[in-house]
Amino acid sequence: MIISEQWLRDWVKVDLTAQEIADCLTNAGLEVDAVEAISAPIDKLLVGKVLTVTKHPDADRLNLTTVDVGEQVLDIVCGAANVREGLLVAVAMVGAKLPNGLKIKKAKVRGVESHGMLCSASELGLEEESSGLIELDEDAEVGQRVDEYLQLDDHLIDIDLTPNRGDCLSVQGVARELKVLADGQYHPLDISPVESSLDQQVSIQLEADSLCPSYLGRIVKGVDQAATTPLWMQERLRRSGVRPISAIVDITNYVMLELGQPMHAFDLNKLDGGITVRLATEGEQFTLLDDSSASLTADTLVIADSAGPIAIAGVMGGADSAIGEGTQDIVLEAAHFTRKAVAGTARRYGLHTESSQRFERGVDPLLPAMAIERATELILEICGGQAGLTARQQCESGLPIKPPVKLRLDRLVSLLGMPLEQADVSSILARIADDVAINEGEWSVVPPSYRFDIEREADLVEEVARVKGYDSIPTAMPRIAPRSQTASESSIGTRQVRQSLVARDYREAITYSFIDAKSQSLFDDETPVKLANPLAENMSVMRTSLVPGLMNALQFNVNRQRERVRFFEIGASYHHDGAQYREVQRLAGVLCGPSKPAQWGVSGTQNVDFYDVKSDLQAVLSLTGHTKPIIFELGTRVALHPGQQAKIVRATSGELINGKVAANGAAQDAVEIGWLGRLHPSLEKHYGVSNVFAFELVLDNALDAEKPVFTPISRFPSIKRDLSVIVDEAVAVSALSFAVGQALGKVLTRVDVFDVYRGDGVGDDSKSVSLSFELRHTDRTMTDDEAEKLMGKAHSVLESEFGARLRS
């Protein structure tokens, strides 16, 4: 909201400069973005009257003029198309310096001397562009300084309002605020009812009175559509950021800026019957003022005649009923539309108007009656015509009700943390509202009709703090009892996880929780949580996995010639849980490029592979100290390479043997904690990358820890034995280790796979696996016979479970 300082001072008298007004508003929560001066004082710029106009003898587009500037008559050459005898203009005399930097000198134009220049609005810094001379009104005095006449000693105050203060989207609203904050002298307009000269009124019907509880309309006949908007009104509109269009449109815009009530004017002769306020029919077509077409939804409130919609309520009028060059009779509209009726409507149709901005935040329900009288008065004054009777339809039950709000002195003092005198609080509340009563330290305040933001006691506490001054509230540190966080032995912290991955040359990334549905569907077929009001098309759903966001970061870096990328992220994913929603904390990572940075000691480049990623995850999972096996099963995720992926599960029974376990029968008694693998070739092509690996863990499942238990070191020697068996190619080598460990129990302290052979003597679909065993008792020395029996048991288990046979 941009407000002219001079216009504001017509409403409220305060002993403050423009910058002090801005500071006062900002300190009270109405943040002022900028204060800009209209123009510096311009010397030798006077009001002149064109006496004569003749053609230049040597130039078709130039005129020779004589201009009276009070004490002298000047000969000036002018090329403006609108110069004419009797015109009052701004004359820059020799020696004047204009706001655009042009300095006026005596000059010869095609052989004729020119003693000054006739100025346009753009040359005075009032407009970006202008097509002719600025035409001053008849009240301008010849010889008067133009900057004084146009009140160029003015400042524009740009206020960035919060959504709850829609009452300040007008000069009247800001003036009321200054009255409260600076205890200024408030001078509202004296708006009297305009006497009707026509016994005619428009028919109004409210079919949606819960959305439009009050609607006023007034016929004005015989208006002069060609009338010129007065210069003072044009200037106030320009300085408020509104482009002057035509007299009637300018007047409705002016009243909106002045009072805060949006208005609209229809061409009476284009209406078919009376006016009806109703909800649109689904799919109903409507042509807007900007000539765009809209297909209306059933929840859109419209103003209609017998033929169809003529305006979207509170947003924009229609082209079919718009005022044009031939308009003589009009219908003025002023209505109260509820915030619910207009909220989201403009955005739904791709519109943003001054009207919708105000109605969405709340407009005073008492304003329509004032606004229609003010607009009628200005139209009759500027455009002439005859005013009819004001038609009003109102539903009292639909109008906002302002119940009294209680404020307790002890509660006020408690929340603000400062002593307050009862008389001071009463004075502040009296400035805010007219209806204030006090009884034994408790005030009862009926909020003004325009203050939609005052609903409860806390709102009145805020009002007192604003008026008193936030800077007057003493600063006090909160009393916080010192306490230390208890270290948990049942889980490891994310800080340890971060340190582990950073030590393995990863970099932590933070990506958006909002992603686009297409990227999400590439990695997961789960239905994501959709946002009701997304920030953008590519941020329309909540992520169910962290990997899509990390892949966007990896792609961004690869496209900028980063060959080696290793990212991880710890964050939440979001899921449907029946009618509710559920957050899951996850650890995810993506990596590509060389497994190690380039160095002189290693020849060639080896890209990262499946086992590099597996090693990184094993390092993280080893922090938990779990003795239950971590099992890497063959995965089936469609987003990953079918031959280079694994599902990670933790067995809930069994023991860890030399850190190696496998997905055999134990996988049925396990909890899934994550996955890893290489991206599917089709996804790598989609992202324009190659050899990319990813992983993801569910932290609640992955990071629960076991308390360490002391196990004494055996004082007895171990026995080592080897066993070579032939098994099918599909059998996982780690499955053999896990099965043997389950069978032999605690006496098996270590098992290693030291050889895998494929080739002659073992068959096409088979392989030879050689295992090394370390056997030991904790309470006595193991004998060779016991060792042989144990090896026989191991062979039997492998034979029965995997069909293994001894290799000769």
Structure tokens at 731: 């059998």
**Ordered alpha helix ranges (H), 202-274:** 231-239, 247-259
Q: How remote is the C-alpha of 418 from its chain's centroid?
A: 36
Taking the C-alpha atoms of residue 135 and residue 143, their distance in angstroms, rounded to an integer, is 15
Structure tokens at 527: 């239905």
Taking the C-alpha atoms of residue 690 and residue 684, their distance in angstroms, rounded to an integer, is 6
Taking the C-alpha atoms of residue 443 and residue 426, their distance in angstroms, rounded to an integer, is 8
Task: Label residue 411 exposed, middle or buried (CB < 10 Å: 0-12, 13-18, 19+).
Answer: middle
Is the distance from CB of 727 to CB of 753 less than 8 angstroms? no
Residue 5: strand, helix, or coil: helix
Those residues whose C-beta lies under 8 Å from the C-beta of residue 634, and which sit 6 or more positions away, are: 645, 646, 647, 663
**DSSP code, position 583:** E
Those residues whose C-beta lies under 8 Å from the C-beta of residue 581, and which sit 6 or more positions away, are: 529, 574, 575
Q: Which residue has the tokens 């948990």?
A: 488
Taking the C-alpha atoms of residue 162 and residue 662, their distance in angstroms, rounded to an integer, is 61
Neighbours of 731 (CB within 10 A): 21
CA torsion through residues 535, 540, 546, 551, sign: negative
Side chain identity, residue 604: G
Taking the C-alpha atoms of residue 660 and residue 553, their distance in angstroms, rounded to an integer, is 34
Q: Which residues of 682-691 are buried (b: 16+ CB within 10 A; e: fewer)?
A: ebbeebebee
207 is in an annotated binding site: no
Of 78, 26, 28, 70, nearest in space to 52 by CA: 78
Distances in Å between the Cα of 751 and the Cα atoms of 629, 799, 800 are: 14, 17, 19
> Which region, left, alpha or beta, applies to residue 628 given φ > 0 means left and ψ of -120 to 50 means alpha?
beta
462 is in an annotated binding site: yes
CA torsion through residues 645, 649, 650, 653, sign: negative
459 is in an annotated binding site: yes
Taking the C-alpha atoms of residue 53 and residue 722, their distance in angstroms, rounded to an integer, is 119
Residue 551 phi, psi dihedral angles, 5° rounding: -65, -35
The continuous run of DSSP H or E covering 23 comes out as: helix 18-27
**Ordered alpha helix ranges (H), 443-540:** 457-468, 494-503, 517-523
User: For the chain, what is the largest distance between any 2 Cα atoms, rounded to a whole number of angstroms?
Assistant: 133
Taking the C-alpha atoms of residue 288 and residue 269, their distance in angstroms, rounded to an integer, is 18
Is the distance from CB of 662 to CB of 736 less than 8 angstroms? yes
Taking the C-alpha atoms of residue 310 and residue 268, their distance in angstroms, rounded to an integer, is 12
**Ordered alpha helix ranges (H), 559-641:** 610-621
**Ordered alpha helix ranges (H), 339-419:** 339-342, 345-348, 354-361, 367-382, 409-416
Those residues whose C-beta lies under 8 Å from the C-beta of residue 586, and which sit 6 or more positions away, are: 545, 546, 570, 571, 572, 573, 696, 697, 698, 699
Taking the C-alpha atoms of residue 532 and residue 537, their distance in angstroms, rounded to an integer, is 12
Which residues are annotated as part of the binding site?
453, 459, 462-463
Which residues sit in the known binding site for Mg(2+)? 453, 459, 462-463
